[in-house]
Each structure stands twice: as C-alpha cells, then as structure tokens.
Amino acid sequence: MSNVWTITKHTFREALSRKVFVTFFLITTFVLAILIAAVLAINLSNIFGPISMKLKIDGDFETKIFSVLKLFLISPLYSGGLFLAIFSSSSFIPTMLEKGNIELLLSKPIKRGELILGKYFGVTSMVFVNVAYAVLGFYFILGLRFHYWDVSFLITIATITFAFMVLYGLIILIGILTRSSLSAMMLTYLIFYVFSPLLAHREKAFYLIESKIIKGVLNVLYYIFPQTSDIGSITSAIALNKEIASYQPIFVSIVFIFLTIGAAIFIFNKKDY
Amino acid sequence: MTNIIEIKELIKVFNDGRKNEVRALDGVSMGIPHGVVFSLLGPNGAGKTTLVKILLGISYPTSGSIELFGENFRNIQLKKRIGYLPENHKFPPYLTGEKLLKYIADLYGYRPANLDKRIAQMLEIVEMSKWSKTKIKNYSKGMMQRLGLAQAILHNPELIILDEPTDGVDPIGRKKIRDLILRLKAEGKTIFVNSHLLSEVEMISDSIAILNKGKVVYSGTVDELTTQKQIYEITLNREFDDYIKFKLEGFQVVDWKERKFRVKIGKESELQRIQQILQENNYLLLGLNQVKTSLENEFISLIEKTGNENE
C-alpha cells in the first residue's frame, strides 16, 4: 500500500503542476465571487421564484429559491466540472507511458497494478479537492444568505467525484490500450455527453422502436456503458432534496470501475515497454 | 562465487500483430561476476536496450532464464538492489533536483534516518549541489545526466545499470563520470554499462560483450579482443637493408617501416628463428611487442564479419 500512496502523492503533485487544475480552481473562485455579489445585490426571488414553481419543489418560498439556486450551481458544476476534469486528466497515463518515463517507474520495486492505482487515486483526489472547494463555497454562501444549512447538499461532492471515478477508470483503460490522451478524452466525452444520456432515456425511445432485439441491445448497452447520466440525476435529486429514484446506477458504476481498472491492470501487466 | 547476472538462452521475439516477427534477442547467454565494470556493446538495433529492459522487468522475455543475485529475476524486491539510469530519461520537470531524489527514494522504499544528508551527499558527488533547489525544467542535458546518475546510486545499490551514461556530457563531464564509475567499482559495486562510446568503454571496462542482431558475437576482456596474438612488431637499432629483407623472405612480414617491421607468426619457433637471423646480421633488437588494435577497429570488423555470416 505504501507504493500506491507514494504514486498517489506524486500524481497529486503532478496534477498541481498542470495549469488546467489551477484554472479550474480560479474559475471556481470567480464563480463563487459572482455568487456572493449576486446573493447580496440581486433580488433572487424575482428570478428563481417562477422557476421553482415550474420545478414543483416543496416547501416555503425561500426554501424553493434555495433549492433552485443549488440546482443552478450543481448542474453546471457536474457537466462543466467533469468536462474540465476529463480534459485535464486524460494525459496522465499516456504521459506515464512515454519513453523515458515508463522505464524510470518500472525499474523500481513497484508492481504495475500499484502504479495504476496510485495514478487513479492521485487524479481522483485532485478532482475531489476541486469539487469540494466549489461545493463547500456554494454551501457557505447560500447558508449565510438563507440561514439554511442543508448538510445533505455536501453529499454532491461525493456523487460528482464518483462520476469522475467512473469515467477515469475508462480513461485509464483507453490510455493503456492506445497511449493516446486524445483518444481517451474523445471517447470519454462521447460516452459522457452522448451515449450515457441517450441510454438513460432509452425507454422514451422504446415508443418508437418495435424490435425486441434492438430494445434488448439498448438495455444491454445501458448496463455496459458507465451510467454517468443517472449519477447526474442522483446529484440533482440530492441538490433538490428529492428522493433518489434508484441506487442501481451507483452499484452498476462500482462494478464498472472494478472492471475497467482490473482490465487496465491486466493489460498493463502483459505489455512490453 | 556465483555471478551477479546469469543469463541463459534468452530469446525475445517482437510480433507486430501482422505475422512479422523480429528476434531482438536470439539465444543470448552470459554471466557477469560481482564487482566488475561490464559493458554491453553493439550497433543500433542489436538488442542491447531490450536486454537491459528485460533484466529490469520493463519488457518480458519470450524464453530463457535470468538470475539476478542468484535468484529468479522476476522477484520484484530484487530491484531494490539495482540502480538504473535509463537512456533519454524524462524526470518530472516541475520537481527540483533535491525533490526528485526524495521521490526516487520513496519509489525504492529507501528511508534511512539520514536521507536528507544522503541526498546532499549524492548531489555533491555529481556536482549538482548548487542546483539542488532549481527546477529540473531549467537543467541542461549534462545536468540531467548527472542527476540521473545521482538517482541511480542514491539507495546504495549493488548493481548499477547505466544506459548511455555519458550521452550529452562534455569531455570534462565524461571524465568525471568515468572516475565515478571506477570509484563505485572500488566500493565493490558491479557496473553494467550500455554505451556507444567505444573509447570510453575501453578505458573503464573489465569485460565486455558485443551483441549483433540479437546474438552475442564476443564475450571477454577488451585486451583479449584488441590484442592480435599472431602479429608482432619488431623494433631494431638501425634501418634494415635489402640483405636482411632477403633473409626474412620466408616469413610473413606484413609491414616494413624504417627501423620497424610487423610479422605474422604461426609457431613460436618462427619468432626465435627471426631473432636469431637478426642477431647473426648484427641487428640489435630494441622491442618485440604483440600488436594491439583499437576496440573500435575490432568492433567494426567483428560486426561486419558476423553481419555477413548471419545474412
């Protein structure tokens, strides 16, 4: 385990040295500053009141506005934050595999699996820190403005980081297979922004499809692809204090993480460098 | 005493997935004893780097056996006893020299109480103390190479594998690296050098092996390779005349030059006969030496010879 910890620490440091994570941090700080200005200067009920009515949120008027605000902050953080996280993390494995880097690592008394796990936890912890900074910022600004301290909102730190963990397993696997950060990034974007949302809403498409085979294939694909769209829905439900419809995407995603990381380690163990 | 490295019938076949096979190593066998400077030579594509990578578990052999320190080389803990300087290494550019050595110590699980002191000592040895707190991205190629050496010997390994250690280093720096290698040898370390610079290898190596097209075409000392046992150079006290040339006609004289000549000897008795003829004709023998060629000459002729044989 100490080897995994060493690689994790070093990967965290490597992530810090990359400008994109600092950019993410600065963007978050900028958003938080705007949020502070907004809650102080703008009459939020004029903007978010009508929206809260449409979203059918329970509670008094202040609570509704509070919930809508949370959703307005968490949704962009989920899609935009993960966009940035995928962009910045997809090159870690191809860089590690570059000639001159990989020899230095593989010549040390470290198992190849430990290298992969160290990279995985290092990058994930960096994303966790950035997400936690943003969510905690939102939490304190909204809490001070509305005097409403919704601790469950903080759970979104875990769900957003978890969504990244699912995608990063895939990024590592593609990185090991192709040694290309561009391939890893493009394929992950495709899954995150196209396949996962489409498959999550496949039941709506079933009205237009008669073939049982195609329906079956779509169902199978839904369970094969990472269910990040559903994790996004869970995140929104938490932000809105709504009941979570199903925990199944969480369990399927955990299996997905084990499978992708396991496959990445297996292939990495077999390869010559 | 067992060898520190024992390789038997090592084969490595690369397959590009289109049924094209490349035999990078073709039945390589060699043994490297403790406490020597061993150099592996060969032209580009001979299989040198592949062999080093297999020793370190970076690549896998197709077949054959390797023992390091008398144990199966697959034991990952053995890597703690090996220091390695890769060719064209890329150290994390955002680290300082000092931080890199701390990171490398972590990777080796090397945590002595006086680690900071040891790091300072290593940087001192490679004359990098002045730049210990400078980020690696600002280092020159020579500085990178010196830092590479420091990280290879930091954890006090028994076996040090250096891949092109003087690459990009100026002549003074090269001399210092050679001195360091000899100093490590004096401390009882075994040094495995992979290099193209034959003149340097010649100066420091106790034994060498030459690889060509995946096969060991020579294994032994530099002296054994460069000493031409059959050719002698004879130096006389005065220039020779036509009469003595006539008297030596029965021998294979290969080169006449003022007061020197070279002769190819089949039997030892021939040498005695030549000495006798010279004495009878009032020539004083000032020198009698076996002719030596450079490692470079022998290397080239060996590669050309074995290259032709393989084709």
pLDDT tens figures, B110-137: 999 999 999 999 999 998 999 999 999 9
Question: pTM of the entire structure?
Answer: 0.84
pLDDT of residue A55: 60
**Tokens representing residue B185 in the block:** 């040898």
* Mean of pLDDT values over A195-213: 85
**Tokens read off for A166:** 């699912």
A243 touches A155 (CB < 8 A): no
3-state DSSP call for residue B142? Answer: helix
The per-residue pLDDT of chain A, averaged, comes to: 88
pLDDT in tens, B92-112: 999 999 999 999 999 999 999
Residue B232: predicted pLDDT: 87
Convert the pLDDT of each residue in A136-192 to its tens digit.
999 998 888 877 788 888 999 999 999 999 999 999 999 999 999 999 999 999 999
In angstroms, the CA A256 to CA A262 distance is 10
Q: How confident is the model at residue A49 (pLDDT cuts 50, 70, 90)?
A: low
Average pLDDT estimate for A71-98: 91
Strand (E) or helix (H) holding B162? strand B159-163
Under DSSP, the state recorded for A243 is P
Confidence of residue A233 (pLDDT cuts 50, 70, 90): very high
pLDDT over 80 (residue A41): no
Question: Which helix (H) or strand (E) covers residue B67, if one does?
Answer: strand B63-68
Is-contact B81 B188, C-beta < 8 A? no
Higher pLDDT, B18 or A77: A77
Segment (H or E) for B231? strand B227-236
Alpha helices by DSSP H, A42-195? 44-54, 61-76, 82-89, 92-96, 102-106, 112-146, 155-178, 181-189
Residue B28 banded pLDDT, cuts 50, 70, 90: very high
Token pair recorded at residue A58 = 């329970």
A20 Cβ contact list (under 8 Å, min separation 6): A84, A87, A88
CB of B56 within 8 Å of any CB in chain A?
A: yes
Give pLDDT, residue B26. 94
The beta-carbon neighbor of B79 closest among A13, A109, A272 is: A109
* Calpha distance A126→A87 (Å, rounded): 13
What is the rounded CA–CA span in Å between residue B252 and residue B250? 7
Residues of chain A contacting residue B11, judged by C-beta atoms under 8 Å apart: none
Among the partner-chain residues A3, A14, A99, the one whose CB lies closest to the CB of B88 is A99
User: Residues A191-198: what's their mean pLDDT?
Assistant: 92
Give yes or no for residue B309 having a pLDDT over 80.
no
Structure tokens at B183: 């100093």
CB distance from B107 to chain A under 8 Å? yes
B88 and A100 in contact by Cβ < 8 A? yes
Question: Strand pairing partners for B68?
Answer: B5, B71
